[in-house]
């Protein structure tokens, strides 16, 4: 299937910033998370991702389309324009810088920072963003291993593989862990599953059973549902 081209936004940044609400930013960020190069993001995906009614999603997408922030094909789905992607990446940058600042500078546990960053990400000024970036040493990744867009809103995502895809006997390094569940992050923390840790799959139990892995010098069992949220860069 041919890749779709993004539509550019002719509107100025100044006029757009006056119209884009925090709710719109949430939608743009959600579309960014769900985007696939070859497929439009469906309304059903957004309904699930944002936990809102289908009619509300359709209404918001039409508003974003009017602002030239998304390209919307009725009954098919939506994708970000270049300008919509820029706003989404700016919010992602705010969110991940805030997570790291809350974790490293304020000592907040890594399983609590996501919810706090969600509250603050829409209100971070350019000046404070720059100060935090400098104070943190211009970081490239947040506490969960997700890449932080740089000041030019450039980002490189190393796809890796989830832990269930690693064959027994293969070693790797945990590159990132999903931050969508506070309880899951707290649990993984008790197991020592953090970005940067070396991990080796020792055994995959049958019938979709748990994985036996070695990480941080200890052997643990981890169920497949949780293991799928752990992304690993395997070693050659």
Is the pLDDT at 1 greater than 80? The verdict is no
Judged by DSSP in three states, 221 sits in strand
Angle at 16 between CA 12 and CA 22, to 5 degrees: 155
The CATH number of domain 1-157 is 1.10.10.10 = yes
Phi first, then psi, for residue 28 (nearest 5°) are -65, -40
Task: Count Cβ atoms below 10 Å from residue 78 Cβ, excluding itself.
Answer: 27
pTM assigned to the model: 0.88
Is the pLDDT at 21 greater than 70? The verdict is yes
What is the chain written as a DSSP string?
Answer: -PPPPPPPP-S-HHHHHHH--HHHHHHHHHHHHH-BTTBPBPHHHHHHHHT--HHHHHHHHHHHHHTTSEEEETTTEEEE-HHHHHHHHHHHHHHHHHHHHHHHTT---TTTHHHHHHHHGGG--HHHHHHHHHHTTS-SB-TTSPBPP-TT--------EEGGGSPTT-EEEEEEE--S-HHHHHHHHHHT--TT-EEEEEEE-TTT-PEEEEETTEEEEE-HHHHTTEEEEE--
Is the pLDDT at 15 greater than 70? The verdict is no
Q: Map tokens 């907040």 to a residue.
A: 108
d(CA 230, CA 51): 24
Average pLDDT, the chain: 91
What average pLDDT does range 163-181 have in this prediction?
95
Task: Count Cβ atoms below 10 Å from residue 137 Cβ, excluding itself.
Answer: 9
Segments making up each domain of the chain, as ranges: 1-157, 161-234
Top CATH class of 161-234 equals mainly beta
Measuring CA to CA, which residue among 67, 66, 65 is closest to residue 15?
67
- pLDDT class of 178 with cuts at 50, 70, 90: very high
What average pLDDT does range 66-81 have in this prediction?
95
The reported pLDDT for the residue numbered 53 is 86
């Amino acid at each position: 299937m041919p890749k779709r081209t993004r539509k550019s936004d002719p509107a100025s940044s100044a006029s757009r910033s006056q119209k884009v609400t925090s709710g719109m930013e949430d939608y743009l960020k959600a579309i960014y998370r769900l985007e696939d190069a070859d497929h439009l993001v469906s309304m059903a995906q957004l309904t699930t991702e944002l936990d809102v009614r289908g009619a509300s999603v359709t209404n918001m997408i039409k508003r974003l389309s009017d602002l030239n922030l998304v390209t919307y094909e009725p009954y098919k789905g939506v994708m970000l324009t270049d300008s919509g992607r820029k706003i989404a990446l700016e919010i992602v940058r705010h969110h991940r810088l805030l997570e790291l600042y809350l974790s490293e500078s304020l000592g907040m546990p890594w399983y609590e920072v996501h919810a706090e960053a969600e509250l603050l990400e829409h209100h971070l000024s350019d000046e404070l963003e720059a100060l935090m970036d400098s104070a943190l040493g211009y970081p490239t990744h947040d506490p969960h291993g997700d890449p932080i867009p740089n000041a030019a809103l450039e980002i490189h995502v190393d796809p890796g593989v989830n832990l269930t895809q690693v064959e027994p006997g293969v070693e790797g390094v945990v590159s990132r862990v999903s931050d969508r569940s506070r309880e899951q992050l707290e649990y993984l923390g008790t197991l020592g599953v953090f970005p940067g840790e070396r991990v080796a799959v020792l055994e995959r139990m049958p019938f979709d059973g748990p994985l036996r892995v070695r990480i941080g010098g200890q052997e643990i069992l981890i169920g497949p549902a949780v293991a799928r949220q752990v992304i690993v860069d395997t070693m050659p």
